[in-house]
Structure 1
Amino acid sequence: MARKMGVYAVLAFVLYGLFFYWYLFQFADPKLPFEYEGTNADPATFLNGRELSLSEEYSKIRNLLFFLSTPLEWLIYFLILLFGLSKAFKRWAEDSVKHKLLHTPIYLFWLSLFAFIAVLPLSYISYSLSKTYHISTQSFPSWMKDELIDFWLNYATWLIIVPVLYWLMRKSQKRWWLYLWILSVPFTLFMMFIQPVIIDPLYNDFYPLKNKALETKILTLADKAHIPAEHVFEVNMSVETNAMNAYVSGIGSNARIVLWDTTLNKLSDEQILFIMAHEMGHYVEKHIYWGIAGYLLLSLFGLYLTYRLMNWAVARFGKELKISDTKDIRSLPLFYMIISMLLFASSPLSNFVSRYQETRADTYAIEMTKNPDAAITSFQELTRNGLSQVNPPMLVKIFRYTHPPMLDRISKLEEYEVKHRTE
């Protein structure tokens, strides 16, 4: 039975992959709606023929890799359970040391290492793709270093969560999901607080903006928005990518507005001021805090569903999955798989909310700067340097896009420009 379930799972993954290949490469029509042709949102007006071709090629392959990556994780965890690897990891942990306190860290290490190695080829393909299309400038050793940092950070995080999770399961088999959620609230806030000052610097170097004249202009905008900012930070992303970005991270006194140095190198001061006003819009409208609240609410519902689904799966397929009880550490791959599935299923909702917030930030930025030309050209440059699709297929927009497509963003800026030109 286990072998048959494994075959069905692999077959389902293959059929799923073929569907998205057909959808992205055959079905989805990249043609721009005729009413947008010739406008500033039309990529043909600001990209040359080669850039247009590369953008379509790169986006299709990148989108396919996105839709394959998460279900591949589900398949890996499912096969780990079916073929008894989770049971083997537990046995190796128990045979390695006598102290019970060390069994969970050792088991977690083997599970994490196996999953890391299993998904590494797809991660390398994604890295290689970005190198081929000149998005990434990162060397292989640097990329591998980041992958290893990811591995150890994830391992350290789960090393805190997993022992607590299974202790709660043993203490309260019916309410562990609620107690875990309660504990996750301060943990989430703590992680977001330390991210800008401890986690992010593990990957890149951050320092105050070196262009002091530009910093003065940005701080003047911040003062106008009643934001108590003292510094704007830049990060040396040019060693890794040609793409551009700016963002707000952290909460409370550790919140930071960050500019990639690629953005500083490729955009004018007016364009950068629009982007900074956009980030200030997030701060003024407290999008970070709304995002935290939404995440915590979804995680409460998600943990409850995880509890119900784990109990159902063990009761129905416990023998095939080599799990006798949910509170057995061998059920951890099942926990990972269900959590990942629920996150994927909820992404359309979370992305929709994020796109709404980004639209609000765009509106705030253009009202503050009143420079639609700088705003439009900055979005055009972001599209060119990231080889982004201006008008992505519907499923890509729903599952991938945390920002509105550039077609929507540039069109709204054009509407603003026309409206205020006639006033």
Structure 2
Amino acid sequence: MKKRFVLGTIILFPIYVCLIYVYLFHWTTPGVPEAYQGTVADPVTFMTAQEVELSQEYSRYRNLLFFIGIPLEALIYIGILVFGWSPIFKRFGQRISFLSIPIYVLLVSAVVWIFSFPLDYVGYRLSAHYGISTQTFSSWMSDELLSFWIGFIIMAILITVLYFLMKKYQKRWWLLAWALLIPFFTFMMYIQPVLIDPLYNEFTELKDPDLEAEILALADQADIPADRVYQVDMSEKTNAMNAYVNGIGDNLRIVLWDTTLNKLDEKETLFIMAHEIGHYVMNHLYMNLAGVIASSFIGLYVTYRLMHVVVRRWGENLGVTRVSDIASLPMLLLLLTVLSIASSPVELAISRQAETAADEYALEMLPDSEAAIGSFQELTVNGLSEVNPPALVKLLRYGHPTMMERILMIQENGSGVCRP
């Protein structure tokens, strides 16, 4: 089994990477269709020739890294099983009985992090080379380690509870686990803005009182219970721009990156905030929560059905005695990873519909197409974004409509004319 896995990976993975490379660099043509050339959606009308060239290069390399990463995590889990590391991790954890599962989770998480690190580092270097990331290596590494430990703590808690349920309720563990995930997801959504996000960046009250008053007026118009707007110092890490409304209840926050404040004028910033407010007004935050809950129900049930098949067929050779054996965790994570990849096109398509609706809401709230198109153009320039990505990239990567689609929608529905 080891030999087949190694040979299969050595032969098939490079073929896969080569096919993706050919698709991205030779089978697809950058730019907009001929019908839209010369319009405000065409990057040559609002980017310099050098910026257009850099955006095409950066997008292709970034997309290549994304596609390389798709099967990587699954291969790592298979490798842990095939090379017999899973029972070794289990025995190591059992030496400290009351922490056996957290120790096992730590070892698996460390292996995944170590084997994923080279690709993550290349992504960081690529972003820095093209001027998107402004982060020093030490700062980036600090964020990476912070994410690792936060992810480990959350995962250790979830896996400990999950395998307790597996042992106690062999036929209903998936349903009970799903029921417990509902308050967990809600709790995480509640604490994210005030406990987790500040671990990465410093949040302060918006320094421009006039702009804050304008944004709060929009929020009040949309019945958003907010009395302040936060800005986050992201310019130390990136030149990209962003803004968002997240959290629920009294932890809801309206947030602007300082890069957005630095690059956009007031009207453009207000349009971006109107878009984010649209998500709140149309209950997209709660719809996202409901979607995660619904998808977790399906995912856990399918995993429950498949786990028995996988353990029965391959468990003995892989050192996994039963489904509730903690050594089966890589199998569980492998199945969940595959299901996540398979479901992502549907989830992303739903997300694109929600983003389109938020754009339409923003245009109704602030019918200034010049500011709207200007903001999208600036987002494209500062992120070296691809306005019209290849179909496969859009299918598997884009939770937003393409910039070409967004700008054309604004142009068709708005009344203004974008500045040159």
Q: TM-score normalized by structure 2?
A: 0.97
Q: 2:281 aligns with which of 281, 284, 288?
A: 284
Query: 1:169 aligned to 2:196?
Result: no
Give the letter aligned to residue 168 of structure 1.
L
Specify the alignment match of 1:151 in structure 2.
148
Q: Secondary structure at the match of 1:62?
A: helix
Query: 1:76 aligned to 2:76?
Result: yes
Aligned-partner Cα distance in 2 for 1:248–1:334: 36
Aligned-partner Cα distance in 1 for 2:85–2:228: 50
Aligned-pair distance for 1:390? 0.2
Matches within 5 A, 1:5-404: 5-95=5-95, 97=96, 100-404=97-401
Aligned-pair distance for 1:222? 1.7
Aligned-partner Cα distance in 1 for 2:43–2:344: 28
Give the letter aligned to residue 178 of structure 1.
L
Contact 1:70 1:340 survives alignment (8 Å): no
Aligned-pair distance for 1:203? 0.2
* Inter-CA distance 419–379: structure 2 relative to 1 (3 Å threshold): closer
Aligned-pair distance for 1:276? 0.7
Q: Secondary structure at the match of 1:234?
A: strand
Percent identity, aligned pairs only?
52
Equivalent pairs counted in the alignment come to: 418
Aligned-pair distance for 1:346? 0.9
Q: Secondary structure at the match of 1:241?
A: coil
Give the letter aligned to residue 61 of structure 1.
Y
Q: Secondary structure at the match of 1:270?
A: helix
Aligned-pair distance for 1:7? 2.5
Q: Secondary structure at the match of 1:412?
A: helix
Aligned-pair distance for 1:16? 2.2
User: Unmatched 5+ residue regions in structure 2?
Assistant: none
Aligned-pair distance for 1:323? 1.5
Contact 2:370 2:416 survives alignment (8 Å): no
Q: Secondary structure at the match of 2:231?
A: strand
Q: Secondary structure at the match of 1:257?
A: strand
For residues 8-51 of structure 1, what are the alpha-carbon distances to aligned partners after superposition, in whole Å with 9 as ceiling and x for unaligned? 24433333222211211111222421111111000010011110
Aligned-partner Cα distance in 2 for 1:176–1:383: 46
For residues 157-213 of structure 1, what are the alpha-carbon distances to aligned partners after superposition, in whole Å with 9 as ceiling and x for unaligned? 011111111111111222111111001000110011000000000000011111001
Contact 1:2 1:320 survives alignment (8 Å): no
Aligned-pair distance for 1:322? 2.4
Contact 2:28 2:390 survives alignment (8 Å): yes
For residues 276-297 of structure 1, what are the alpha-carbon distances to aligned partners after superposition, in whole Å with 9 as ceiling and x for unaligned? 1111101111100011111111
Give the letter aligned to residue 104 of structure 1.
I
* Inter-CA distance 66–420: structure 2 relative to 1 (3 Å threshold): closer
> After alignment, is 267-276 or 100-109 more displaced?
100-109
Aligned-partner Cα distance in 2 for 1:101–1:187: 23
Aligned-partner Cα distance in 2 for 1:9–1:169: 32
For residues 121-171 of structure 1, what are the alpha-carbon distances to aligned partners after superposition, in whole Å with 9 as ceiling and x for unaligned? 111000000000000000001000000011100110011111111111111
Q: Secondary structure at the match of 2:244?
A: strand
Contact 2:348 2:399 survives alignment (8 Å): yes
For residues 68-113 of structure 1, what are the alpha-carbon distances to aligned partners after superposition, in whole Å with 9 as ceiling and x for unaligned? 1131111011001000111111122224x3xx21111222211111
Aligned-partner Cα distance in 2 for 1:84–1:203: 36
Contact 1:6 1:82 survives alignment (8 Å): no
Q: TM-score normalized by structure 1?
A: 0.96
Contact 1:47 1:384 survives alignment (8 Å): yes
User: Unmatched 5+ residue regions in structure 1?
Assistant: none
> After alignment, is 324-333 or 263-272 more displaced?
324-333
> After alignment, is 321-330 or 201-210 more displaced?
321-330
Provide the alpha-carbon RMSD of the alignment: 1.5
Q: Secondary structure at the match of 1:259?
A: strand
Q: Secondary structure at the match of 1:135?
A: coil
Aligned-pair distance for 1:223? 2.0
Give the letter aligned to residue 371 of structure 1.
D
Give the letter aligned to residue 347 of structure 2.
S
Give the letter aligned to residue 33 of structure 1.
P
Aligned-partner Cα distance in 2 for 1:420–1:104: 60
